[in-house]
Every structure is written in structure tokens, then in C-alpha cells.
Amino acid sequence: MKYLKFLNNEFFKEAGELSRFTARFFRELSKPKQEYEEFIHQCYWIGYKTLMLVGVTAFIMGLVMTIQSRPTLVEFGAESLLPSMVSISLIREISPVITALICAGKIGSGLGAELGSMKVTEQIDAMEVSGTNPFKYLVVSRVMAATLMVPILSSLANAISLYGAYLGVNIRGHVSWHLYWFQVFDALSFGDIIPSLIKTFFFGFAIGIVGCYKGFSSQKGTEGVGRSATTAVIVASLMVFILDLIAVQVTDILGLT
């Protein structure tokens, strides 16, 4: 019982600190003189440096999903529905969530380790002494970059995974390039694409804010840096699943599914 009580106290304390950190982010974001140069640098680091990993994963994901789905559809005589089924599954759910989880692993851990190292080596304290606003420079720029780049990476992953699915369709069958894309876009609607895109902005924000929070609150030397990077990945991944569940419920209530 004491252990459970301790866990509950730690959970609510962590949730409160994260909420206060998020509120501070919005306060700093509303102030003038944004760090645009650092924002562009972080967009390059978060977006371009993650593109290869996301692209390879998306391609394999589309290819494997098509190969795995074919036998079931052949059994029911619905092989012609393969492009439509795969495209809806990838665009609605699989591609955005898998991309967000990849970003949670790479970006979340990177932010936690980077800011954690700066925290324990007192570089953040030195910035405050020198008159620089470390929160705006380090946190706001990184969170905004993650919020912008995760939807872009997700959109690219959608396109790459659909191309992988095209190759998967033609491994044991033959569907022309034009017919494949006609079936893909005929099956999709704005009700599939827009909610999928909107929720990736929330994924990106959650990944950025959790990674920066864990790094900014790091302590206990190098051991704390490692713990910050690890917990950033865990919490960010959990947040992705929670936000995805909320998004599914909202789109269902609004009749967009």
C-alpha cells in the first residue's frame, strides 16, 4: 500500500510539473523576439536527420502490410480490394502512429539527453546569468520545430508507405501504376486524411514538450541524463497512444470515420 501511495504521489507530482512546464511554454511563446535561427536549425535536426529512418520504416511497413493482407483477401475472393484496404489502414492510423513512435524514440531521447547534459553541466544556469532566456532559446524553438516537422514526416511516410504497398501488390499480381493510384484515392476521403494530419501536430507537440521537460528537469549528474533520455521516450510514446485514442473518439463522435 505504501508503494502504491508513493507511485500515485509521484504520478500526480510529475503531471503537475509537466502541466506547469507546458503553461510556461505558452507564456514564453506569446512573448516577442522568437529565436528563428535556432528554430530553423532544430527543424533541420528533427526533420532532415530523421527522414531516412522514417522513410525506410514507412517503405517496409507498406510492403509488409500488403504481403500479409493478400492471403486473407484472396481467401474471400476480394484481392482487387487490396490497394483500397491498405491505403485506408496506412493513412488513417498505421503510418501516423508508427512515424510518431519513431520520432518519440529518436527526437524525444535526443532532446532529453541534450538538455539534460546542459542542465547537469550548468550551461543553462550560465545562459541565465549572461542575460539570455534559456527557456525560449532551448525549449520553445525545439517544441515548435517538433510540432511542425512530425506532421511533415508523417505526410512523407504516407507517400512512401503507399509506394511500398504498390510494390507489394505487384509481387504476386499485376496492377498498373495508374489503376493502383486510382483505387487508392478512390477509397480515401478528406475524412480520412484531415483528422490523420491534425493529430500528428499534437503528436509532435507532445514529443517535443516531454523531451524538453525531461531534459530541463534532469539532475544527479550523468546518471540523471540517461534517465531523462529513457523516460522521455517512454512518456512520449505513451502520450502518442493516449492522444491517438482521444483523436479516434473525437473523429467518431464527429462522424468523420
pLDDT score for 6: 46
- Asked whether residue 150 carries a pLDDT value surpassing 70, the answer given is yes
Locate the domains of the chain by residue range: 35-253
Residues 151, 252: Cα–Cα separation, whole Å: 21
**Higher confidence at residue 140 or residue 79?**
140
pLDDT score for 1: 55
pLDDT score for 4: 47
Mean predicted confidence (pLDDT) in 204-208: 94
pLDDT score for 147: 94
- Asked whether residue 256 carries a pLDDT value surpassing 90, the answer given is no
Mean pLDDT of the chain: 86
Residue type, 220: K
Measured N-to-C along each axis, helices 190-216 and 109-120 cross at an angle, to the nearest 10 degrees, of 20
pLDDT score for 35: 80
Mean predicted confidence (pLDDT) in 237-255: 88
The pLDDT confidence band at residue 161, using thresholds 50, 70 and 90, is very high
- Asked whether residue 203 carries a pLDDT value surpassing 60, the answer given is yes
Q: What is the DSSP string of the chain?
A: -HHHHHHHHHHHHHHHHHHHHHHHHHHHHHSS---HHHHHHHHIIIIIHHHHHHHHHHHHHHHHHHHHHHHHHHHTT-GGGHHHHHHHHIIIIIHHHHHHHHHIIIIIHHHHHHHHHHHHTTHHHHHHHTT--HIIIIIIHHHHHHHHHHHHHHHHHHHHHHHHHHHHHTTSS---HHHHHHHHHHH--HHHHHHHHHHHHHHHHHHHHHHHHHHHT--SHHHHHHHHHHHHHHHHHHHHHHHHHHHHHHHHHTT--
The pLDDT confidence band at residue 123, using thresholds 50, 70 and 90, is confident
The region of weakest confidence among 185-189, 233-237, 241-245 is 185-189
State the sign of the Cα–Cα–Cα–Cα dihedral 9, 10, 11, 17: positive
Residues 250, 75: Cα–Cα separation, whole Å: 34
Angle at 208 between CA 147 and CA 91, to 5 degrees: 50
- Asked whether residue 257 carries a pLDDT value surpassing 70, the answer given is no
pLDDT score for 144: 94
Mean predicted confidence (pLDDT) in 221-245: 87
Residues 30, 15: Cα–Cα separation, whole Å: 23
Mean predicted confidence (pLDDT) in 216-236: 83
